[in-house]
Chains A and B, each alone.
Chain A
Amino acid sequence: MLPIANSCGRLEAAWEVLRQVPDPEVPVISLCELGIVRDLRLREDGACGLEVVLTPTYSGCPATELIADLVREALAAFGEIEITMQRAPAWTTDWITPAGRSKLKDYGIVPPGPVAGAQPVRLVHRHALTRLACPRCGSEQTEKLSAFGTTACKALYRCLACREPFEYFKPL
């Protein structure tokens, strides 16, 4: 236990630590920047420790358990950590912070656009999709290689100008 007397100070210190915990699959941004930490509070059961409320990105995200472990580990000094998984409201890429977006882009992953502006679901005649700009050279001469990438949340593209492949964080 850290010797921090008042609960406000303890929560602030815990947030400070939590803000440093990277997402295990896209380590360039933190869990907080990804928008999956919904709350951090004192435990309601009166136990000495904290409760962290997380929300999953995708239903089947295999990193969900790992993320809970990382949070527990990072906050170990604050007592017993209870992890609550909260599904509603469902996570959306709109919750990725501006700082998170800019880190994604610098890392070579095109950040998702606003969900509201995303193309409505169309089953046919979908050729006229907006082109993504390459995160490296900025060219809009890019094409989709794969609807799914290395993780469920991304798709794979390539730039026809600089010939580099890049990932796109899909708006969800």
Chain B
Amino acid sequence: MSTPSIKVGSSAPVHYLLRIADACLILSQRLGEWCGHGPILEEDLALANMALDLIGQARGLLTHAARLDGQGHDEDQLAFLRDERQYFNPVLMELPRGDFAFTVARNFAAASWLLLLWQRLQASSDAEVAAIAGKAVKEAAYHQQHAADWFLRLADGTDESRARLQAALGEQWPLFNELFASDAVDEAAAASSLGPRWSELRADWQAALDEVMAEAGLPAPKASAYVSAGRLGVHSEHMGHMLAEMQYLQRAYPGGVW
């Protein structure tokens, strides 16, 4: 007794957009999990508000990807009725929320990455993508700034907060590589000017991270050659559990709306 799952086609532009849409959607779900659990009320509000921005960005891209996919699906069906292997977010986004330091480190990495992506996507040959990016770019800049504030605050805080931030970076470090991995989907997007190759974002992203790491006085963790493959639909063990919770309502009550 379950709702049949849906699959998207193999079109490169659809996959390119879903990688970004799913990055926003999945990170949003993780940030939403903080609601009622934030370390202070102000951060509870901040995390929920950033989750909302990310959901809004995901909705725009999902709706557009569904249109390009041409199977008559809508944003909700794409968000809730795909199986794990049909989600294309980088693995970094799906990791459990961890402690607050883990969330801050990831938010900084993700917001810096999304900011660079949206900046480039403003010039997309696809007018709808450019319009979504025009709005999202301002939101991502604020998210990045907010994450940087907390990044420095935790680094300058107590031995405990500093150690936790350092540990979070160590854990996430190997997963940053995927944010800049290029492949055929990426090449096709660059060729049609839909969007940049992710590899083109690495230098600027690294500069932003280096700036806060230097200010925080934190050493860089050891580099890793590992490249995760969430963008190809190959996820960590955490993804299925997360989707079970995220999709429960639509699977149990197909087509349910507010």
Contact = CB atoms under 8 A, between A and B. Distances in A.
B46 A124 contact: no
A169 interface: no
A170 B143 CA distance: 13
A147 B146 contact: yes
A121 B212 contact: no
Most buried by A among B45, B59, B215: B45
Given A121-B144, A125-B215, 7 more contacts: A87-B135, A123-B144, A123-B145, A123-B208, A123-B211, A146-B41, A148-B42
Interface residues of B, number: 37
Closest 5 CB pairs of A and B: A60-B56, A59-B56, A88-B131, A146-B42, A60-B52
Contacts of B50: 148
Interface of A is mostly: loop
Contacts of B135: 56, 58-59, 87, 90-91
Contact of B60 (A59, A89, A149, A152): A59
B139 interface: yes
Contacts of A126: 145, 149
Contacts of A58: 52-53, 56, 135, 139
A123 B146 CA distance: 9
B53 A152 contact: yes
B85 interface: no
B134 interface: yes
A172 interface: yes
A34 to B, nearest CB: 15
Given A60-B52, A61-B56, A124 B215 contact: yes
B46 A148 contact: yes
Interface of A: 56, 58-62, 87-91, 121-126, 145-150, 152, 156, 170, 172
Contact of B152 (A89, A124, A146): A124
B134 A147 contact: no
A149 B212 CA distance: 25
B105 interface: no
A156 B51 CA distance: 18
A61 B128 CA distance: 18
Given A124-B211, A146-B42, A152-B52, A87 B144 contact: no
Contacts of B42: 145-148, 156
Contact of B52 (A62, A91, A123, A156): A62
Most buried by A among B52, B127, B139, B149: B52
Given A91-B135, A123-B212, A149 B45 contact: yes
Contacts of B145: 121-123, 126
A146 B46 contact: yes
A151 to B, nearest CB: 8
27 contacts: A58-B52, A58-B53, A59-B55, A59-B56, A60-B52, A60-B54, A61-B52, A61-B56, A62-B52, A88-B131, A88-B134, A90-B131, A90-B135, A90-B138, A121-B141, A121-B144, A122-B145, A123-B148, A123-B211, A123-B215, A124-B148, A145-B42, A146-B41, A146-B45, A147-B146, A148-B49, A150-B45
